[in-house]
Structure 1
């Protein structure tokens, strides 16, 4: 990646905000579905689901890997901005710790309207990954890639059952590192569920940091590189998925009709993110990032997508406020409709007898949520731009 360096151009940063905004609104769709369109089956369970439920869930698979990747990329851009390794390490470490605290202290109860247990999700793993990234940012891009990429490529070869047994009383550590599951420290009264294990997600963030180096290149070279890298990932995904040689615990199987066969092909493993899942999501995301950079603010097409940057400029602010809003109004809705407030996300199989999942309701609430949060996000983005407050930079 040795190219002539150029100063940041607005179109570069605009493309990142636009993609991040798209990620945010898709994420909101998934979280709306969790409360307003919960189903007694997994939307990706081909035995019970249909294409509409499947794609409503599947399209949101792009959110976490692309957001984590862009966090790493943004960390490199911040490094270019401050030109001070010590300041970069301090920012990554402190922001990472802040995100971990935020996940545990604020975001977890906002999902539950209680504090039954800690749920370690995407904000937690981003925080942990930023802390780890702060320890290696002094390395060259080549060494960071050599250190972290093998974990993303090879982690599907790990035998989680054997690893949990070998860790013994420290099995909780393997849950944090690689496999979803519950951990408990009874003597301290702590119960937690690790939804996002660290190893593969940190690898994706580190990859984003390394790819960030192309943002010192001329625009046309960067667009070509991102496009080719994305195409390479998509082709690799198709080959691995079609052959089934490696990269996902759930092999593709031809189904009873073409549509279901396509769904099976796309039905990759997210928890933890398999190699096939990562390539399936990051590949198209990189191509879209490259194409968004081509947009000129005077183009007609830009006017149709410019609103995305409002959400993309303040992703953490959006995340923190949108979950309690979705959850709170869902409680009010179930209270009115079923006679008692219900946390539908955690209801499991204990759904009201008269309940029927509705995609129409899910999409309607999702659109209303975006409309309701557009101006608060726009105001907060403006406030951040006009303020030099260090506190605002952390939200």
Structure 2
């Protein structure tokens, strides 16, 4: 979740002093700022969703692959939260992690670092994410639930995907040394091929299970579908399975290549790509809802069900992510990145007013860990559940106000550490 593409050439705050990039680094700094701001924005939106879960009634999310296509009794707030947060944030985290991995890889290759060393570093970072999921966050969930609660969440999946991306980039470096790959577009087609294979395989497994009425086995639940397991003593909840999310990281690797190749002109292909994704999403969802075909999402139309509505366009499988989920999330996040980049070019003074988002984006993992404890603590302090949007927004903003100075201090602390330090991984 942290931008692994940050390096010593970027503008950073160290001991409250602004370090200015060298001449010629302007676009590089701008480019990374756009990533930080988009990441910071979706971190804040994610925090709103989790804040609402704790301080108010839990909204009807309907995000699982086996939940109904029909949206019933969904409020306007629930629909907006689902469309602009639940179906956007996670896909953006994975995509921007892929971009950051590509930028870090290229930066260290230019510094003369051995590809095997970079691969091992990224694998280590992935292992750190997995470890945090099953230690710090496992402890938090156990405290919050009042029983042993093993939540297989986003850090587990991000960590595995980071390890996979490290091996993909290492494979790219090896293949580039072969004469028959020397002038190919391997940095594009290798991630693209792997992403498509995973998407098609996931759709094939779920379609086969549904068509032949086969119950998922343990491996499918653990690595693909997810699910819950309850006993009187403990609770296991597998939400973010690793492999279905890798296509978003693969796209991030491709976008990283586009950004480093096109430089200041990169915003145009990214914007075009966003609208292409959005168009394909609309066509597939329309066909799904009309019953023309079911490829693209895992939810099916139930016989004798209530009439479908325009809200059914957003009734998409997030757990595991379907093709339509990816298309929606990718398009919104790409448009966000382009928006931030163009805003800095057109309105630099207005751009600087979003400094808080940049700080959150530069400390995404620290923010992610901290926001659970802060919003749970605030929910305990409340005498009753909140029912008004004004009350929920107030608590959400209080949480962000608490997180902002903590993130600033953390950034100053980790910026003083060696770039290979464990602390920099947070």
Task: Indicate the TM-score class for this superposition, using the shorter chain for normalisation.
Answer: 0.7 to 0.9
Distance 1:97-1:167 versus aligned 2 partners, 3 A rule: farther
Secondary structure of residue in 1 paired with 2:164? helix
Q: CA RMSD in A?
A: 3.1
Match of 1:47 in 2: 72
1:176 & 1:182 partners in 2: Cα distance?
10
Gaps of 5+ in 2: 1-23, 64-69, 173-185
Q: Does the aligned pair in 2 maintain the 1:167–1:174 contact within 8 Å?
A: no
2:159 & 2:248 partners in 1: Cα distance?
13
C-alpha offsets along residues 136-162 of structure 1, whole Å, 9 cap, x if unaligned? 222232223212322125522323783
Match of 1:87 in 2: 117
After superposition, residues 22-171 of structure 1 pair within 5 angstroms as 22-39=41-58, 41-42=60-61, 46-61=71-86, 62-83=88-109, 84=113, 85-113=115-143, 114=146, 116-138=148-170, 139=172, 140-141=186-187, 142-153=189-200, 155-159=202-206, 162=209, 171=217
Distance 1:40-1:88 versus aligned 2 partners, 3 A rule: closer
Match of 1:340 in 2: none
Secondary structure of residue in 1 paired with 2:237? strand
1:356 & 1:387 partners in 2: Cα distance?
42
Q: Does the aligned pair in 2 maintain the 1:231–1:284 contact within 8 Å?
A: no
Match of 1:21 in 2: 40
Secondary structure of residue in 2 paired with 1:182? strand
Distance 1:302-1:215 versus aligned 2 partners, 3 A rule: same
Q: Does the aligned pair in 1 maintain the 2:126–2:160 contact within 8 Å?
A: yes
| TM superposition shift of 1:109 | 2.4
Q: 1:207 aligns with which of 230, 240, 251?
A: 251
Match of 2:311 in 1: 263
Q: Does the aligned pair in 2 maintain the 1:152–1:199 contact within 8 Å?
A: no
1:172 and 2:191 are equivalent in the alignment: no
1:86 & 1:191 partners in 2: Cα distance?
39
Gaps of 5+ in 1: 1-5, 338-354
Distance 1:252-1:300 versus aligned 2 partners, 3 A rule: farther
Secondary structure of residue in 2 paired with 1:217? helix
1:197 and 2:227 are equivalent in the alignment: no
Secondary structure of residue in 2 paired with 1:118? strand
Secondary structure of residue in 2 paired with 1:16? helix
The number of residues matched between the two structures is: 364
TM-score in terms of structure 1 length: 0.83
Match of 1:394 in 2: 425
Q: 2:372 aligns with which of 310, 323, 337?
A: 323
Q: Larger deviation: 295-304 or 359-368?
A: 295-304
Q: Does the aligned pair in 2 maintain the 1:11–1:295 contact within 8 Å?
A: no
Match of 1:373 in 2: 403
Q: Does the aligned pair in 1 maintain the 2:55–2:386 contact within 8 Å?
A: no
Distance 1:230-1:40 versus aligned 2 partners, 3 A rule: closer
C-alpha offsets along residues 10-36 of structure 1, whole Å, 9 cap, x if unaligned? 111111101110011011011101111
C-alpha offsets along residues 309-366 of structure 1, whole Å, 9 cap, x if unaligned? 0100000000111101111221232xx44xxxxxxxxxxxxxxxxx674433322211
Distance 1:290-1:105 versus aligned 2 partners, 3 A rule: same
Match of 1:314 in 2: 363
TM-score in terms of structure 2 length: 0.77
Q: Larger deviation: 231-240 or 297-306?
A: 297-306
